[in-house]
A = this chain, B = another copy of it.
Amino acid sequence: MNIDLIIVGNELLNGKIEDRNTHYLACELYNQGHKLRKVHIIGDDEKLYFEALDAAFSHSEVVITTGGLGPTQDDLTKDILGKYFKCTSECSEEALEMTLSHFKRGNREYDQDKFPYHYLPRGFKAIFNPAGYAPGLHFTDGRKTVFATPGVPTEFQAMLKEEIFPKLSKNSNEIIKHIIVKTWKVPESKIFFELAPKLWDELSPLGEVSSLPHLVGVDIGVKLIESSQAQISKKEEKIIELIKATPLKDYIWHIGTETMEELIIREASEKNLTIGCAESCTGGLVASKLTDISGSSAVFWGSVVSYANEVKMKSLGVGEETLKNYGAVSEQTALEMAIGAREHLGVDITVTTTGIAGPGGGSKEKPVGTVGIGISTSKESKSKIYHFSGTRKSLKERFARVALMKLLEAIREA
């Protein structure tokens, strides 16, 4: 099924908030075999809202709108959808009952004179909101179907999952699978122009080929749409065979959809290894990424975020002399942090980061973007300096991703 998403709100276009709904919807629709054709982000603007609805319905049967359903005067969605489908607003018993239940759940009283939640365009159905107060909307005239949801991500996600996805019918004859081959330590252009110049053309007859560079590594994807699982498996085998026949085979770290964090938790768990970190420049980001993974508590014991040198010395036992002679951003400090963290946390493997995320703190010898990454296991402890460029936040992200890569390598070597 073809679906468009219309996101409404001035706050997205003037930078006051960042859209978090597209990514969730994109992942879910993809996994359910639907096609997200276009995302329209517009302000609280009646004309652009109408144009977006027209454009969306010109190539999609279903439109999901998000935002503009709240209680304030800039909340246009209900009014616009009523006008678009030529339905006048009326009080809905169903919406009232639903709203009362939402407010009861939140231990609040619903004031019918002040709130507009129980008014709907005639013919529209109210959608239960599992996580907020405003009901959603649902309407179809047979050819065009619209769902309207609140813009708050928790409400958007809960309403989609529990109420809207079950209503989207699926093409049951198709099996969709995305084969993803994840590589590292080689840039995108080197893959397609040096290591495997014929690969793209070889893969294309099998499915839709794509290439996706990340901060660390490049994913090569092939989307398969077949009518049987056997055909999928056959093609999958062929794809992997084609890729492994090139020198790219030495740069593959995963075939599948798991993230690096997920692999770290799974592989550490399979090897019965406990892990931890000590973070200076990444300031907790590595630990936060690992603890995003459900079940991480089985193997991840903790992190010492040692932003101050005092903490590096006291918690991790980094030598005052080391800091004085080599500086906090050095192979020596990264190494002592890794060894110290392994002892302090009592885990099998640690990874550490110490670097300069900027914008201040850089020098000619150690410019912003310099980072020391340390690893300590029962077999060996090692560290290395890397250099990257970027803003403070993108450098933190990049430092964290390299640390995760080294941690995964260490788990595999352990």
Contacts and interface: CB of A to CB of B under 8 A. Distances in A.
Contact of A212 (B17, B31, B204, B308): B17
Interface stretch (A135-143, A228-236, A240-248, A295-303): A295-303
Copies of this chain in its oligomeric complex: 2
Contact of A297 (B43, B72, B308, B391): B308
Interface string A25-55: 0111111000111111111010010011001
A114 B292 CA distance: 41
A15 interface: yes
A174 interface: no
A71 B188 contact: yes
A204 B200 CA distance: 57
Interface stretch (A89-97, A319-327, A377-385, A392-400): A392-400
Contacts of A22: 12, 18-19, 41
18 contacts: A12-B22, A15-B26, A15-B28, A37-B45, A39-B40, A72-B188, A72-B200, A73-B204, A114-B193, A114-B197, A154-B391, A279-B284, A283-B303, A292-B393, A292-B396, A294-B359, A296-B307, A301-B307
B27 A37 contact: no
Nearest to A346: B310
Contact of A310 (B209, B301, B311, B396): B301
B16 A221 contact: yes
A169 interface: no
A28 B131 CA distance: 33
A360 interface: yes
A135 to B, nearest CB: 14
A71 B359 contact: no
Contacts of A195: none
A307 B55 CA distance: 49
A231 to B, nearest CB: 20
Nearest to A400: B288
Interface residues of A, number: 114
Most buried by B among A59, A115, A187, A213: A213
Interface in A179-234: 187-189, 192-193, 197, 200, 204, 208-214, 219, 221, 223
Contacts of A359: 294
A303 B301 contact: no
Contact of A305 (B23, B35, B287): B287
Given A15-B30, A114-B193, A283-B300, 11 more contacts: A10-B210, A15-B31, A17-B212, A19-B23, A70-B188, A72-B188, A115-B193, A282-B291, A296-B307, A301-B311, A304-B305
Given A13-B37, A283-B290, A390 B188 contact: no
A340 to B, nearest CB: 12
A214 to B, nearest CB: 8
A306 interface: yes
A11 interface: yes
Given A200-B72, A394-B154, A36 B48 contact: no
Interface in A116-174: 131, 133, 152-154, 157
A345 B10 contact: no
A405 interface: no
